[in-house]
Amino acid sequence: MVDDFKIDPWGVSAIDDYDRLIREFGIEEITESLRQKMIKNRFIRRKIIFGHRDLGLIYKAMEQGQPWAVMSGIKPSGPFHLGTSTTALEIVEFQRMGGKVYYGIADIESWEDNGIPWEEAEETAVDNIADILAFGLDPSPEKAYIWRQSKEPKVKDVCFKVSRLVTQNMLNAIYGERTFGLYIASLIQVGDIVLPQVVEGPQPTIVPVGIDQDPHIRLTRDLTRRNYKKFFLPGATYHYLLAGIDGSEKMAKRNPNSYFTFNEPLDAVEKKVKGALTGGRKNLKEQKELGGDPQKCMVYKMLMYHFEENDETLKKDFEMCVKGELMCGDHKRECVEKALKFIKNHRKKKEKLIDKARNLLKID
């Protein structure tokens, strides 16, 4: 790998060449055959998920009626926003396809990366879990296992076990020069990812992530291979990272116009959607003559990832845009209406689930 092409799971990873990334990190593309087999998953169907590691093992388990798991989690450093909720929605999709969900609250990582004490992270964790429950996660014990890193001894036991084979050079090669606490957090994540097999025995496991989290997947597969001979190597799916809705590289707290949370005032959400980057031309005349570019349009992407349930509507919007028949102002108004409707419904569901989230995390 050349020095200027790195993926940073704790910072900004500007990815402008996904084909090169697939080649250099050994990621498998989603073939049309595999897409058709997993067509019920809207993120695969809409080609938001572009690559994977061992997704075929999940389909094989589904086909044979064998158990399989889907694992992910959230760092409790703030409320859900457009970026973090993408993975949560993917988790719900995989659960509906038959996977048992393992969902970890990464409070150790939030301390090491953001300096948030575990006690302070508790209320954020409750809020985050209430969000994913409102998205449709079934928390019943046979369908979900939810934990906090700081309170799950099995996760920390894995960290101790696998660390025997980890060297400083190995971590430097994957993550670069970091504080030792972040190295420890990465080994705790190995425990998170193999937890389904520690708890319930060898079974295929898929981890839906943005591509910036691939270093954790590669580390886990390597250490699983060397420490747990009978386990399946954990697999992963990778989605395209959402850029900032204002056109910036990435959604970031330091740039509040680049994202919005699901807790923000509705008028603030409306203002940010109206200010989103589009793929439109510089004036109405050119838009009608040349058409727009929906691939660059954050309005189209917000609808595709979150707020438009109907595939045919998305397809129609895309075609009308490139033909110059859909104007950016009209499209923004459509997006505002659907985003606000989604968020209002989400909040109504979430209000009723706060106590449930608190109970699941065993927080008084």
Chosen domain end from 215, 241, 267: 241
Chosen domain end from 182, 212, 241: 241
Q: Would residue 259 be called left, alpha or beta, if left means φ above 0 and alpha means ψ between -120 and 50 degrees?
A: beta
Overall average pLDDT of the 104-112 stretch: 95
**C-alpha to C-alpha distances, 147 to 101, 151, 154, 176, nearest whole angstrom:** 11, 7, 11, 29
The reply to whether 362 falls in a domain is no
Overall average pLDDT of the 194-211 stretch: 96
CA 358 – CA 300 distance, rounded (Å):
35
Q: Do the Cβ atoms of 308 and 342 come closer than 8 Å?
A: no
The values of phi and psi at residue 11, to 5°, are -150, -150
* CB neighbourhood size of 118 (10 A): 17
The reply to whether 7 falls in a domain is no
Q: Are residues 133 and 30 in the same domain?
A: yes
Q: pLDDT digit string (tens) for 254-298? A: 788 899 999 999 999 999 999 999 998 888 888 888 889 999 999
Radius of gyration of the chain (CA): 21
Residue 275: CA atoms inside 13 Å, Cβ hemisphere, count? 14
Domain of residue 280, CATH code: 1.10.240.10
Q: Are residues 263 and 344 in the same domain?
A: yes
Q: Is the pLDDT of residue 12 over 90?
A: no
Overall average pLDDT of the 120-137 stretch: 97
The reply to whether 313 falls in a domain is yes
Quick one: pLDDT at residue 3? Answer: 43
Q: Are residues 107 and 79 in the same domain?
A: yes
The reply to whether 301 falls in a domain is yes
Overall average pLDDT of the 54-77 stretch: 96
The reply to whether 12 falls in a domain is no
Burial (CB count <10 Å: 0-12, 13-18, 19+), residue 314: middle
CA 282 – CA 277 distance, rounded (Å):
12
Q: Are residues 302 and 345 in the same domain?
A: yes
The helix/strand/coil state of 102 is strand
Q: pLDDT digit string (tens) for 302-311? A: 999 999 999 9
Q: Are residues 210 and 272 in the same domain?
A: no
CA 54 – CA 193 distance, rounded (Å):
14
Q: Are residues 128 and 196 in the same domain?
A: yes
Q: Are residues 279 and 237 in the same domain?
A: no
Quick one: pLDDT at residue 251? Answer: 80
Q: Which two tokens stand for residue 90?
A: 């993917």
The reply to whether 5 falls in a domain is no
Overall average pLDDT of the 185-207 stretch: 97
Report which of 13, 4, 1 is spatially closest to residue 238, judged by C-alpha positions: 13
Q: Is the pLDDT of residue 331 over 70?
A: yes
Q: Is the pLDDT of residue 183 over 80?
A: yes
What confidence tier does 212 reach under pLDDT thresholds 50, 70, 90?
confident
Give the DSSP letter of residue 304: I
Q: Are residues 177 and 113 in the same domain?
A: yes
Domain of residue 228, CATH code: 3.40.50.620
Q: Is the pLDDT of residue 5 over 60?
A: no
Quick one: pLDDT at residue 6? Answer: 66
Chosen domain end from 207, 241, 275: 241
CA 40 – CA 97 distance, rounded (Å):
8
Instruction: Taking each helix axis as running N to C, give the angle between helix 328-351 and helix 118-135, from 0 to 180 degrees, rounded to the nearest 10.
Output: 110
Greatest C-alpha distance within the chain: 65
Report which of 37, 52, 112 is spatially closest to residue 77, judged by C-alpha positions: 112
Residue range(s) defining the domain that contains residue 287: 256-351
The reply to whether 10 falls in a domain is no
Q: Are residues 232 and 130 in the same domain?
A: yes
Q: Are residues 183 and 71 in the same domain?
A: yes
Q: pLDDT digit string (tens) for 160-182? A: 999 999 999 999 999 999 999 99
Q: Which two tokens stand for residue 298?
A: 């954050």
* CB neighbourhood size of 263 (10 A): 15
Q: Are residues 28 and 168 in the same domain?
A: yes
Quick one: pLDDT at residue 1? Answer: 37
Number of structural domains (the chain) is 2
Q: Are residues 109 and 237 in the same domain?
A: yes
Q: Average pLDDT over the chain, rounded to whole?
A: 93
